[in-house]
A and B are shown apart, each in its own frame.
Chain A
Amino acid sequence: MFDFLYMGKHTIFVYMSYIFSIVVLFAGYYFPHNSLKKEVNRRNDKDNNKE
């Protein structure tokens, strides 16, 4: 059924490189995304605690 996913003799290398690249690209996007959210929440929490 999944015959079309077969990528030839070295199919494991193809999939490893694709998965590695996708994971790294996702990490590169989500790092600033979550950093900003964390900073804003930290500042908001500090403000609320000070008040």
Chain B
Amino acid sequence: MNISKIANLKFFYTNTNTLTVYLSLFTFLLFVIGIYWGLFIAPEDYLQGNSYRIIYFHVPAAWLSLQTYIIMAVTGFIALVWKIKIMEIASIQCAPLGALFTLIALITGMLWGKPTWGTYWVWDARLTSELILLFLYIGVMVLYSSISDKRQAAKLTSILAIIGLINIPIIHYSVEWWNTLHQGPTVTKFEKPSAHITMLIPLLYMFVVFNIYFLTVLIKRIRLGIYIREKNSKWMKEYHDV
């Protein structure tokens, strides 16, 4: 089977129907196992007690928010250069997902910061970069929704996403540099100490689970995008009238 058939919209749409059902059940199961593992099996932390368990949602969401932006920019680049339609759809459908992950990372971070360090928010490098990432996602979504020709909109948002990708490390390092000026060369209180292996393994597991969730929801969103784009085509009408 030729791998490039997956770029064919009809092939993708018709063959992923049952896949999404199984994949979503699988994701749900993995999440239940992950939550139970994170809440009850992982040991209690010496310093923070049980409130460190928030990291099992906070850290994978933060990693995945950055990863989704990279995937959005890369699929946007492929869509611009090789003009593959499914990459256009995939690129724009990554944006709401990424915004979701960023929101989870920010809110859980605030809820973790309050009991552990006494403050909901601090303007250091990581938190500020995460907030700016949320604004980048929102900018992409707003630009896409305000242009009426959706193919042109996909191309323009791909350009915006690629330029934004270049901008993310610049923002991160400039905010970090600005903060070290203010805080001095002491170890900041957000530096993670080395963690025990029984606390790291659930973290990696949750990262994998979040990735599988990302895959599931992205496939569902691509199906939605394909439907909206190919609503009036012959194969779509035949497929749904059966």
A17 touches B220 (CB 8 A): no
Q: A8–B112 Cα gap in the complex (Å)?
A: 13
Q: Chain A residues with Cβ under 8 A from B115's Cβ?
A: 9-10, 13
Residue from B111, B112, B116, B231 whose CB has the most chain A CB atoms within 10 Å: B111
Residue from A16, A28, A36, A47 whose CB has the most chain B CB atoms within 10 Å: A28
Does A1 belong to the interface (CB within 8 Å)? Answer: no
Q: Which B-chain residue is minimally distant from A21 (CB atoms)?
A: B57
The count of residues in chain B whose C-beta lies closer than 8 Å to any C-beta of chain A is 38
B231 touches A43 (CB 8 A): yes
B76-100, CB < 8 A from A? 96-97, 100
Q: Is the interface of A mostly helix, strand, loop or mixed?
A: helix
The count of residues in chain A whose C-beta lies closer than 8 Å to any C-beta of chain B is 29
Would you mind naming 28 contact pairs between A and B with Cβ atoms under 8 Å apart? Answer: A6-B50, A7-B53, A8-B44, A8-B50, A9-B115, A13-B51, A13-B112, A14-B53, A16-B111, A17-B54, A17-B57, A17-B107, A18-B39, A18-B57, A20-B104, A20-B108, A24-B103, A24-B104, A25-B213, A28-B97, A29-B24, A29-B217, A29-B220, A32-B223, A36-B220, A36-B223, A40-B227, A43-B231
A→B interface (CB under 8 Å) = 4, 6-11, 13-14, 16-18, 20-22, 24-25, 27-29, 32-33, 35-36, 39-40, 43-44, 47
